[in-house]
Chain A
Amino acid sequence: MAIKKFMYLNRRAPYGTVYALESLEVVLIAAAFDQDVSLAFMDDGVYQLVEGQKTDGIGMKNFSKTFHALGDYDINQFFVSAESLEERGLSVDDLMPLVWEDEDDDWAEKPSIKVVPNAELTKIMSEQDVCLSF
């Protein structure tokens, strides 16, 4: 089977709708098929990666913890829109410090999140075989 480039585009806030959670579920299922997977976060989707989420008050599962597991699933490309962050008064320091271990570099921990301007995100999207928007 040829490896295809899959991008999961997340544009909605983590809670209130089920889109973000469903996207993550699909990503985890797709991870079993050894494809080239990347995630993109723009608009309110950037809130999915914000550090320190507490969901007790809304009775929902705090699935943000699951993003920390994705490195072990060889998912280590998280592209975040620089403009979307800035519009919301956020910076990369407000996001979870997601890392992955590089097997070819003595298991060194490397950051998974890359903040990119929309123009670059557009280019990365155009290089994908499949782009799924949630």
Chain B
Amino acid sequence: MADILGAEVDEEGFLVDLKDWTKEIAVEMAKGDDIDLSEEHWDVINFLRDYFEEYQIAPAVRVLTKAIGKQFGKEKGNSKYLYSLFPYGPGKQGCRFAGLPKPTGCI
């Protein structure tokens, strides 16, 4: 099994145990994808973690888009913005950095 900073990850790079998550792990995962995490990335990552804590699921992309727009301003509530932060998909890549499981229904 592969690991990131000692935390076990599955074949797609998602954390096996969500409790293992740390900010350092997120930074390390992003580095592996050639991404330097900015404040805007953290806004989304923290949002995803809060959402998961509250609802026990990762949000679908359209739900995420709408909620981000509501919380951080309309200019950010679109998939173009979210994909500019997470080129492999805000759901898939964002959730991975946030230490969440792969979103349900995400291919």
Q: What is A's interface to B at a CB cutoff of 8 Å?
A: 25, 28-29, 31-32, 61-63, 65-66, 68-69, 72-73
Residues of B contacting A: mostly = loop
Taking a contact as CB atoms under 8 Å apart, the answer to whether B105 and A32 are in contact is yes
The docked-state distance in angstroms from the alpha carbon of A58 to that of B36 is 41
The docked-state distance in angstroms from the alpha carbon of A61 to that of B57 is 11
A73 touching B105 in the complex, CB below 8 Å, given contacts A28-B57, A65-B54:
no
The listed residue (A25, A61, A63, A73) touching B60 by CB distance below 8 A is: A73
For this complex, 10 residue pairs linking A to B, each with C-beta atoms less than 8 Å apart, are A28-B57, A28-B105, A29-B104, A61-B56, A62-B56, A65-B54, A66-B56, A66-B57, A73-B60, A73-B63
Q: How large is the interface on B (under 10, 10 to 19, 20 to 34, 35 or more residues)?
A: 10 to 19
Q: What is B's interface to A at a CB cutoff of 8 Å?
A: 54-57, 59-60, 63, 66-67, 104-105
The listed residue (B54, B59, B66, B104) touching A25 by CB distance below 8 A is: B104
Taking a contact as CB atoms under 8 Å apart, the answer to whether B104 and A28 are in contact is yes
Taking a contact as CB atoms under 8 Å apart, the answer to whether A31 and B56 are in contact is no
For the complex of A and B, 8 pairs with smallest distance between CB atoms: A69-B55, A29-B105, A28-B104, A65-B56, A72-B63, A66-B56, A32-B105, A66-B57
Taking a contact as CB atoms under 8 Å apart, the answer to whether A72 and B66 are in contact is yes
A31 touching B55 in the complex, CB below 8 Å, given contacts A25-B104, A72-B66:
no
The listed residue (B55, B59, B66) touching A68 by CB distance below 8 A is: B55
